[in-house]
Amino acid sequence: MAANGMKRFLVRARAAKRRVLAKASPIVRPLWDFAKEPVLAVLFALAATTAIARPYYVPTGSMEPTIAIGDEVLASKFAYGYSRYSVPFAIAPSSSTRLLQRMPARGDVIVFQLPRDPGQAYVKRVIGLPGDRVQMRDGRVWLNGQELALKPAGTGPDEMENGAMIPAGRYIETLPGGRTHPIYKLTWNGPLDNTAVFVVPPGHLFMMGDNRDNSLDSCVAQSDGGVGYVPMENLIGRADVVLGSVDFLNARSLLAWPAEFRVARVLKRVQ
């Protein structure tokens, strides 16, 4: 679908070019010949980042161990259809439904606009779909009255935003249907390890970070400075792959950036 849309866009662009040149004066034609390549390149880039995919830099560790601080993830824009947040500067009209809408699956990692501040983009994992009941009990996720299976998987380095590393318990969590993903857990009696039952409203999603004790997500209401329930309209795309990884924020200097590049994370799938 995205390829067909891009083909139609190029056909319209060529037709528009012919119409402009047919009416162009001797002064306009040389100007167009000079500017056409950069103009078309910009239009192509806008169309591609709107309809196909767009990269996003991740500055926090809320999705560790799946996504590291400094990862550049590529979000597939066509995965769930399109909303006003698929368009640059959100200039399209607001709507409760998406064009070519498809519901995410539990376990998808999604880039979305923060509901209380659409100027910020967050990345989290879908835990609850519309109508689901989500609760934390003693640090474990309960979904629709069933506790999600959790299997120990050793320890891993949990990077803090100041660059410090602390050891964290690594576990494999299993969602309904058998889909698995890793999480980090530091404690089992934190402020969000026991919550009320969250009932996900229609047209919304319940999102959580894989770094459970270092993530601001749907467990915290928007009114308290959290994420709350995420409307379908706010989805940007599914995070599918890590393009590259450099922890710019914690690098000692500009000269240290090349040494901070993590070759092992290049083209790593986000699961």
Nearest residue to 100 via CA among 128, 85, 79: 79
Of 77, 83, 124, 218, the active-site residue reads 124
Orientation angle between helical segments 28-51 and 2-23, nearest 10 degrees: 170
Residue 48 CA to residue 64 CA, distance in Å, equals: 29
Interacting residues of 85 by C-beta distance below 8 A, sequence separation 6+: 112, 113, 118, 233, 234, 235, 236
Per the structure block, which two tokens stand in for 127?
């835990």
Alpha helices in the chain (DSSP H): 2-23, 28-51, 257-260
Residue 44 CA to residue 14 CA, distance in Å, equals: 12
Task: Judge whether 124 counts as a catalytic residue.
Answer: yes
52 burial (CB, 10 Å; 0-12 / 13-18 / 19+) is: middle
77 φ, ψ (degrees, to nearest 5): -75, -25
Token look-up 């824009």 returns 77
Residue 3 CA to residue 7 CA, distance in Å, equals: 6
Of 62, 83, 215, 245, the active-site residue reads 62
- Contact between 215 and 38 under an 8 Å Cβ cutoff? The reply is no
253 φ, ψ (degrees, to nearest 5): -165, 175
* Residue positions annotated with a catalytic role: 62, 124
